[in-house]
Amino acid sequence: MKHLLGTKDLNKKQMEAILGGAQYWAEHPKKQSDLLYGRFIANLFFEASTRTRFSFEVAEKRLGAHVLNFSETDSSTKKGETIYDTLRTLESMGVETAVIRTGYDGLFKELIAQKNLQMNLVNAGEGTMEHPTQCLLDMLTMQQQFGGLQGLKVAIIGDLRHSRVCSSHLHALPKMGAEIMIAGPATFMCEKDTLPNGVHMVEMDEAITTADVVMMLRVQLERHSGMLFPSREEYHKQFGLTLERATMMKKNAIIMHPAPFNRGVEIDGKLVESKQSVIFPQVANGVAVRMAVLEGVMTGEMIGGANQWEPSLKMANC
């Protein structure tokens, strides 16, 4: 059984293999394949999504798979059926892989503990825990911009505490040789003792002026239990990427955001499509990364990453 549950489970070689495969698909954006021809994949999104949901679907279709899109509101989960029973049901019909987004921290750990479940599981965003494909597509984008990740200074700024993207980066970027700085309001900060070695908490100005990559995170209002900041305007002034702060960035530094973005809150709307922004190239890379991940999970091989891919090192083996 092979899954992609999180970057916590991946070593450098595995991430390089995925990025190698993804780079191939990024260089062939029109290419369709029959690699997964006739095989069934179900997308189960229990939280809202545009980018992840549709890019998985595009990736699955470009690889020739049959795609089933699960709708929670029209399903028997409304009658109380559990996710485990839903997956066992789909598996009985011949569905091999489930791509799942959930708001429930710990769902994947519970699912892989169920030994009867044979499906491949792919994490498309799990609560505040991990969003591995977003992290991989971000790393692919950085690699394309800078030629590699070793020694890169990445500033992750904003609502860190509620960000599964940030969690995945905290696991992945240090293994790839990049340096992470984090900045944001105290109410959004990660617990200091949960940070991996080498991750620095810095002031906004240091993050903005010294980073190669300025990654702004969305203020995740839907995960806040109360009002954690005074107002959108005040947040923008103190912790947002304003037009003025953007002028302080290094000349060749890039702006990233996993999106969706709150224009005028964590980022000035004009910067979203500015010359330094790679936000839409990130979205394009989402398809390439998800193609590589599905190839890896469902075949154990990758077209572009064939030279690097080692079947004995497939994703997380459970």
- Residues found near ligand CP in the complex (CB under 6 A): 49-53, 125, 134, 258-260
- In the complex, minimum distance from the CB of residue 47 to ligand CP, in angstroms, rounded to a whole number: 8
Residue closer to ligand CP (CB basis): 25 or 56: 56
User: Tokens in use for 99?
Assistant: 């791509």
Nearer to ligand CP, 52 or 86 (CB): 52
- In angstroms, the CA 176 to CA 169 distance is 10
Q: Which is nearer to ligand CP, 140 or 303 (CB)?
A: 140
**Interatomic CA distance for residues 283 and 258, integer angstroms:** 8
CB of 94 to ligand CP, least distance (A): 27
Q: Which amino acid is at 215?
A: M
∠ CA(143), CA(147), CA(153), 5° rounding?
65
Report the nearest approach of ligand CP to the CB of residue 132 (Å).
11
Q: Which token pair is 137?
A: 């597509």
Is residue 31 within 8 A of residue 62, CB to CB? The reply is: yes
The Cα 110–Cα 187 span in angstroms is 30
Least separation in angstroms between CB 313 and ligand CP: 26
The distance of closest approach from Cβ of residue 137 to ligand CP in the complex, given in angstroms and rounded to an integer, is 9
> Count of residues for the chain?
318
Nearer to ligand CP, 43 or 134 (CB): 134
**For ligand CP, which is the closer residue by CB, 67 or 202?**
67
Least distance to ligand CP from the beta carbon of 117, Å?
24
By three-state DSSP, how is residue 47 classified? Answer: coil
Residue 35 or 160: the one with the smaller Cβ distance to ligand CP is 160
Min dist. Cβ of residue 150 to ligand CP (A)? 25
Q: Distance between the two ends of the chain, CA-based, in angstroms? A: 6
Closest CA to 118 of 149, 95, 138: 95
* Of residues 59, 49, 160, 157, the one with CA closest to residue 103: 49
- List Cβ neighbours of 234 (8 Å cut-off, separation of 6 or more): none
Residues 204 and 183 sit within 8 Å (Cβ to Cβ): yes
Asked if residues 240 and 267 have their Cβ atoms less than 8 Å apart, the reply is yes
CA–CA gap between residue 39 and residue 249 (Å, rounded):
47
Least distance between ligand CP and beta carbon 124 (Å): 8
E strand or H helix at 35, and its extent? none
Which C-beta is closer to ligand CP: that of 101 or that of 314? Answer: 101
